[in-house]
Amino acid sequence: MRDLSAGPRVLLKRLRELMAEPLEPQERLDQIVRQIASNMVAEVCSVYVLRADSVLELYATEGLNKDAVHLAQLKMGQGLVGTIAASAQSLNLSDAQAHPAFRYLPETGEEIYHSFLGVPILRAGRSLGVLVVQNKAQRNYREEELEALETTAMVLAEIIATGELKKITRPGLELDLTRAVTIDGDGYNEGIGLGYVVLHEPRIVVTNLLNEDTETEIRRLADALGSLRISIDDMLSRREVSMEGEHREVLETYRMFAHDQGWVRRMEEAIHNGLTAEAAVEKVQSDTKARMIRLMDPYLRERMHDFDDLANRLLRQLTGFSSQSQAEGFPADAIIFARAMGAAELLDYPRTNLRGLVLEEGAVTSHVVIVARAMGIAVVGQAAGAVALAENGDPVIIDGDDGQVHVRPMADLQKAYEEKVKLRARRQEQFRALRDVEPLTKDGKRIMLQMNAGLLVDLPQLAESGAQGIGLFRTELQFMISSTMPKGEEQEAFYRSVLRQAGGRPVTFRTLDIGGDKVVSYFRGHEEENPALGWRAIRLSLDRPGLLRTQLRALLKAAAGAELKMMLPMVTEVAEIRAVRELMQKEVQHLSKFGHPLPKKLQFGAMLEVPALLWQLEELMEEVDFVSVGSNDLFQFTMAVDRGNARVADRFDVLGRPFLRILRDIVRAADKHETPVTLCGEMAGRPLSAMALLGIGFRSISMSPTAIGPVKAMLLGLDVDQLSRDLNAALDDHHSHLPLRDILVGFAEDNNIPL
């Protein structure tokens, strides 16, 4: 066979011309395989395309029986073609029929051909089909011929990705790239979102595949690599790792990849074969990803993600991609797909357009999930492979209730979810109609319904939901979304804005609850084996009194002339409350000394979330003006249950006897000392568990804004005294094995209480 040193460039030039001609899809494919066969002096060239049913169908051939086109087919993993597609690796054989995977298809007439070279048609590491050349003579194809065929396969990948082949796909069938996919994950925030995929760090779509000047492209690649290496070195030297949302060791891995000569050499070879610099990066990226994606070793799979991210950074350098260009095409109903992202990055997106968030990583307690929940959008986490399986603009359904993501859903599924969304919308309308209704139970008990918040974007929901105040304002969210420590003046302005927008409704500020899993980028603590039980919240604040005093001063100044309600998180001993009181008193004296106006009323409270306080209830109730029960952490610490661990998170029930007895003891101690008590946690936001809270004596609960409507609908039909008699009797019965949840559900059904 002749020397192919110039062959790939000639072939790619001809393919570019064919792509530009106004041809029907079948004719274009037929001419492409004819050109490839001619250029490579091959007697056969065939294209197999992967269908959604995992079958590879012959779409075009030069040399085999033309009648076999759209009839010859192999399942994924079947025969040589199926093996190439399944492994995403090429096969170069001198005698194909001697290979154990060979499968004879009599309709093709290929039995007279011996040498075989097949390459996968790849896009973002996914096999879309297989490109094959064959000859009668027994020979191995040279390395440059393999490179030429792999480069040509990129052009075919673009043809498949554009959807052009739909016109020649048999009725009732569809291609794999467009098939419906359901991804199972974990529901991190309830709700349903219908919309279109927006990749947080989108793959750059390389449209300029073929180069005009090899030396120019080599220089472009070298310049982009130089800029990439400098940016990584700069981030490492200045330790601004957190601003990129990645750990330092990941950037060290990036630096290793960026200086890897093997990677550079493969990209340069692709350029010499006729590709542009960006097309060369995409080709090597896709080849490497295809080889690594099937690895079982979790460390190596993680390195694959690192390499993928680095290649995308290099593509951005070459193409000049900017986040602004992405924002210009932002859809009206957007569902963000990301491996991982920071809380501040989510807030950069237009909030009115967001319908959901899909994360491959993260946990229910991660910063971005907390912010997404505050924004009221559906969230699914631990959705493995979601980013690779989706394309920008794909229709998608996110179900935060069931933890599922449906990419390119079938029409019947789409219709079912549209009906479900309409039903939810009608229910929300009914709840909105209750917005101004007094939260009085059927037997005349007044209940205080408040909402949880932490960002300015939450505050419009105060009026929309009909909440009577903010029972928990998480001040740490301002710190978590900032790249630097908020100064005292910034904190003061923020708190003043919160109070102003609350419009006179009470706001309970919780002092900083950072540390543990709530790590802020600019405040580095020590590595802890069990951070939830470690150096966090009030413990950290008392060890860093300057940090706490700055916040206390900002709160006092922001609430000048108004009422200030503030509470301390993660209190373990009453002595901690007294220590903070002393710091508060110093700040009051300081402000008074310099003539600053003070709040007209100060209420000082504590969160009850550490079980140790249960044996200090008398002292606690005497020490504070109010108590707020943090049911999430209190349940976690009491039952030794990690809420982020799916194996144990559902093992124990918040409506079980042990936990409800604890909550009842807290209410009774508060009533005895006439100390107001509120519960803020997930329990308060579910009608059934909220009903139980009212039954054991709570008269103030705080929840997410979207939960207020359903909870109010429940309490309007509730006879609290009757429920209390039944529930307390069940709690005091030490011989009954009937679950309290069943008792509560039965009570609701018997009394027509909506849940």
The per-residue DSSP string of 516-584 comes to TTB--TT------SSGGGSSBHHHHHHHSHHHHHHHHHHHHHHTTTSEEEEEESS--SHHHHHHHHHHH
pTM of the predicted protein model: 0.66
Q: Report pLDDT for 163.
A: 81
Element of type H or E holding 735: none
Residues of the chain with CATH 1.10.274.10: 214-320
Residue closest to 312 by CA, chosen among 166, 165, 168, 205: 205
Query: What's the confidence (pLDDT) of residue 20?
Result: 80
> What length is written for the chain?
755
Distance CA 631, CA 686 (A): 13
Domain spanning 7-178 has what CATH number?
Answer: 3.30.450.40
pLDDT classification of 252: cutoffs 50, 70, 90: low
Q: What is the pLDDT of residues 357-392, one digit of tens each?
A: 999 877 766 667 877 887 789 999 988 888 878 888
- Looking at the DSSP bridge assignments, the partners of residue 451 are 470, 703
Question: How does residue 246 score in pLDDT terms, banded at 50, 70 and 90?
Answer: very low
Distances (CA, A) of 737 to 387, 730, 733, 741: 47, 10, 9, 11
Average pLDDT over the chain reads 86
Q: What is the CATH number of domain 214-320?
A: 1.10.274.10
pLDDT tens per residue, range 197-241 = 998 876 666 767 778 888 999 999 998 888 888 877 776 665 434
Mean pLDDT to the nearest integer, 348-352: 79
- 613: nearest Cα among 670, 540, 544: 670
What tens digit of pLDDT does each residue of 643-671 get? Answer: 656 566 667 789 999 999 999 999 999 99
Q: Which CATH number fits domain 434-750: 2.60.120.560, 3.30.413.10, 3.20.20.60, 3.90.950.20?
A: 3.20.20.60
Which CATH class name applies to 181-204+325-424?
Answer: alpha beta
User: Which segments of the chain belong to CATH 3.30.450.40?
Assistant: 7-178
In whole angstroms, give the CA distance from residue 711 to residue 603. 27
Task: Identify the band that residue 331 occupies on the pLDDT scale cut at 50, 70 and 90.
Answer: confident
Q: Residue 125 is encoded by which pair of tokens?
A: 């590491």
Q: Indicate where the chain has its CATH 3.50.30.10 domain(s).
A: 181-204+325-424
pLDDT in tens, 551-608: 999 999 999 999 999 999 999 999 999 999 999 999 999 999 999 999 999 999 999 9
Q: Over 80: is that where the pLDDT of 71 sits? A: yes
Q: Residue 40: pLDDT band by 50, 70, 90 thresholds? A: confident
> Residue 647 has what pLDDT?
66
Q: What is the pLDDT of residues 75-92, one digit of tens each?
A: 999 999 999 998 888 999
487-501 average pLDDT score: 94
Relative orientation angle of helices 411-433 and 708-716, to the nearest 10 degrees = 60
pLDDT for position 239: 42
Output the pLDDT for position 405. 94
Q: Which residue has the tokens 């604890």?
A: 662
State the pLDDT at residue 5. Answer: 42
> Averaged over 172-196, what is the pLDDT?
86
